[in-house]
Amino acid sequence: MVVSLTRRQLFGAGAGAGAGLLLAACGSSPASAPAPTPSAPAPSGSGAAAATPARGGVLRVGALGKASSTTRDPHGVQANESDYLILSLVYDALTVPGASPNVAPRLASAWEPSDDLKRWRFTIAEDATFHDGSPVTAEDVVWSLRRLRATPSGSARLPGIEAGAIKADGGAVVLTSSYANSELPLLLRLTTFVLKKDTATVAGSPGTGPFRLESFRNGNARLVRNDRWHGGEVALDAVEVQMFESPQAMANAMLTGQIDLASNVGAVAARTAEGRGDVQIVRRPNDMSMPIVMRTADGPFADERVRQAVRLAVDREAMVKQVLSGYGAVANDILGTGDPDYAKDIPQRTRDLAQAKRLLGQAGLDLSMTYELFTTEDIPGLAESATLFATQVREAGLNIRVVKQDPGVFWDKTWLKAPLYTTYWGTNDSVVFFAGKTLSSDAAQNEAAWKDDAFDRTYLKAVGTVDAAERAPYLREMQRIEHERSGYLLWGMADGLDLASPKVRDLPTLPGYGRVQLERAWLAT
């Protein structure tokens, strides 16, 4: 007999906010059931819960970006939020974030692991087609995933999966991991976008998503409804995406009626809009982390004592209050704060200037020098966090000069390379996600160049363990090690904040990638 189980029941805790993907079991062996049908996002806006979605209308969306950083490659680095929004509506990934469970189907309708959790079979939705009407085949998916794997960040986006381990099997794609990995469906949620096999010109190529690209110019785009979309009915006739270089300009455009939705507009704009009856504030708690990265392989922060001193020199409550205007929460240097197995029992690190000074002295760091902290203005509050951080650590004797860079320069020249820089992540529902993407020694996006054998061993035990009771101590140990000696200073979690016209209904409330899933939104008349 086949019995349906939630991922929490079968694979244990630690997958994120919710139970995880649905599977079925026969006896004690993992097996798949059809993945759950995506539910509409939680309603937003006054009276939305009782209203029936109306078909039609054009949703005008503002998103942050810079013309110098524009990309139209779904497998490239998307430094602009506007690009990511467009690509996420035009192309389908295999899986996407969900509320409960936290992994929902998209182009993959179901998934099934082998008993040893190394071989995963993803069934492609039977009625999935490209925008030109041609059916999506397993060969299309294999070609796309191999293309993704060949990009500089491909090993992070497909962790443990080599190009030769991606194969077609009838109407399914089989991915074979180099290690047991119970979390693979979760790790495929971001950019496993699918193109037609042998696509020569990627820009403007047909996708499989809820909208198709009608026009694109200088980062601005018009997307029209894809009536063939396999994921269900889409109410909006079109989405028009307008790129803004600053959150202030985007907020002003929304408040003056030039756009209907200001996406990820930031705390300052939200605070300004408070109390206005003609504006919705959509708030997603614990939405985004903005850690400071300290390179551990070499340079001034390679000494663990220096990293500990930096973490002790920061006033986290002041950072949340001043940078986020209170729209956020203090964090404890552990990525994945939304995970049900987040280790709340690890003592919260607080400011201790005396200890910070002692550690800097013990490490022998040259305090006569000025060290550079690189940042960008990709998202609201990022550059401001760098400036306040520099002010705070000066009280411990550490001199920091903040260097602001254009996003294109930052992501090409600084990210993964500089001794000290800011970064940000819009996914926070899984400790394991970050372990595989940014913390394990062989992670392609190992931002701090951190290598810790004990952490690596514990991570492999965690993802290779099915039983919840056996898995829990591994998850806790991973977080303890990260808290003590990684290259991250995670001072707080920012709330995600959108401003919207009252007529915009059913906006997504999930964090990270989830917030760009606008296919269920509609306009009230």
Q: Whole-angstrom Cα distance, residue 486 to residue 479?
A: 10
Reduced DSSP (H G I as helix, E B as strand, rest coil) percent helix, strand, coil of the chain, to 5 = 30, 25, 50
Say what the pLDDT of residue 9 is.
28
Q: What is the DSSP string of 36-66?
A: PPPPPPPP-STTGGGPPPPP--EEEEEEE--
Say what the pLDDT of residue 50 is.
47
Compute how many other C-beta atoms are within 10 angstroms of the C-beta atom of residue 504. 25
Cβ(290)–Cβ(424) under 8 Å? yes
CA torsion angle for 467, 337, 447, 122 (degrees, to 10)? Answer: 50
pTM of the entire predicted model? 0.81
Say what the pLDDT of residue 359 is.
98
Return the ∠ at Cα 464 (arms to 443 and 156), rounded to 5°. Answer: 20
Give the right CATH number for 287-494 from 3.90.550.10, 3.40.50.150, 3.10.105.10, 3.30.420.40. 3.10.105.10
Q: Does domain 55-90+204-285+495-523 have CATH number 3.40.190.10?
A: yes
Q: Which residues contact residue 102 at a Cβ distance below 8 angstroms, ignoring those fewer than 6 apart?
A: 15, 16, 17, 18, 19, 20, 21, 186, 429, 430
As to burial, measured by CB atoms within 10 angstroms (0-12 exposed, 13-18 middle, 19+ buried), residue 520 is buried
Sign of CA dihedral 267, 269, 271, 275: negative
Q: Edge to edge, what strands does the sheet with 488-489 contain? A: 399-404, 370-375, 420-422, 292-294, 488-489
Helix (H, G, I), strand (E, B) or coil at 235: coil
- Residue-wise pLDDT for 132-148, tens only, equals 999 999 999 999 999 99
Say what the pLDDT of residue 441 is.
94
Cβ(373)–Cβ(344) under 8 Å? no
CATH 3.10.105.10 in the chain, residues?
Answer: 287-494
- pLDDT profile of the chain (525 residues), mean per 10: 26 26 27 37 40 93 90 88 94 89 91 96 97 97 97 87 97 96 88 94 94 96 97 97 94 95 92 90 90 98 98 98 94 93 96 98 97 92 96 98 93 95 88 90 92 97 88 96 98 94 92 85 94
Cβ(331)–Cβ(311) under 8 Å? no
Cβ(160)–Cβ(456) under 8 Å? no
CATH 3.90.76.10 in the chain, residues?
Answer: 3-39+92-187
What are 156's two structure tokens?
């992070």
Cβ(134)–Cβ(169) under 8 Å? no
Say what the pLDDT of residue 28 is.
26
CATH 3.40.190.10 in the chain, residues?
Answer: 55-90+204-285+495-523
Structural element, H or E, at residue 285: strand 280-289
3-39+92-187 belongs to which CATH class?
Answer: alpha beta
Q: Which residues contact residue 43 at a Cβ distance below 8 angstroms, ignoring those fewer than 6 apart?
A: 49, 51, 505, 506
> At how many degrees (to 10) do helices 468-485 and 453-463 cross?
150
Q: Whole-angstrom Cα distance, residue 508 to residue 519?
A: 9
- Residue-wise pLDDT for 444-487, tens only, equals 889 999 999 999 999 999 999 888 789 899 999 999 999 999 99
- Encode 381-403 in three state secondary structure: CHHHHHHHHHHHHHHHCCEEEEE
